[in-house]
């Protein structure tokens, strides 16, 4: 295989196996481009840094140097350079987890409820 003996392409997996793999990986590679991309957030929720293409939602969900790092060209060379750079860096799992909390369902519900309550109060005060 072109990838060598240390890389295994798993395909579709049960969610429990995905979370176990994320929790035990050194980093999550995200070389694609998505408008949001939930997978990098899930990896950070598992305390893992993300090495991502610097475009799309990754720019909003990863903090460069703190919860991951970016590469700026979708090429083997750029990804290789990013992985080599990653090997010289240290990432704190707690920072990744805290960053992922920005996108949690609990926070979303709390902030949405606060927004609706604020708008409702303003509306009822005006009538």
* CATH code where residue 54 lies: 3.40.50.2000
Written as six digits, the tokens of 101 are 């909390």
Helix or strand run (H / E) with residue 53: strand 50-53
With cut-offs at 50, 70 and 90, classify the pLDDT of residue 7. Answer: confident
With cut-offs at 50, 70 and 90, classify the pLDDT of residue 10. Answer: confident
The reported pLDDT for the residue numbered 101 is 95
Assigned domain for 58 exists? yes
CB 43 within 8 A of CB 61: no
With cut-offs at 50, 70 and 90, classify the pLDDT of residue 3. Answer: confident
The reported pLDDT for the residue numbered 95 is 98
- Angle made by CA atoms 3, 100, 14, in degrees to the nearest 5: 50
pTM attached to this predicted model:
0.83
Assigned domain for 112 exists? yes
Closest CA to 96 of 32, 47, 37: 47
The reported pLDDT for the residue numbered 1 is 53
Coil vs helix vs strand at 94: helix
Assigned domain for 9 exists? no
Domain count, the chain: 1
């Amino acid at each position: 295989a072109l990838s060598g003996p240390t890389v295994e392409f798993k395909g579709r997996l049960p969610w429990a196996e995905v979370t176990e793999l994320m929790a035990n990986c050194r980093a999550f590679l995200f070389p694609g481009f998505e408008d949001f991309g939930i997978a990098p957030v899930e990896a950070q929720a598992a305390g893992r840094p993300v090495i991502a293409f610097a475009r799309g939602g990754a720019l909003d969900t990863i903090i460069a140097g703190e919860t991951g790092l970016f590469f700026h060209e979708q090429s083997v060379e750029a990804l290789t350079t990013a992985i080599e750079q990653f090997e010289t860096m240290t990432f704190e799992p707690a920072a990744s987890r805290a960053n992922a909390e920005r996108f949690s369902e609990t926070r979303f519900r709390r902030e949405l409820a606060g927004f609706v309550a604020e708008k409702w109060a303003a509306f009822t005060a005006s009538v």
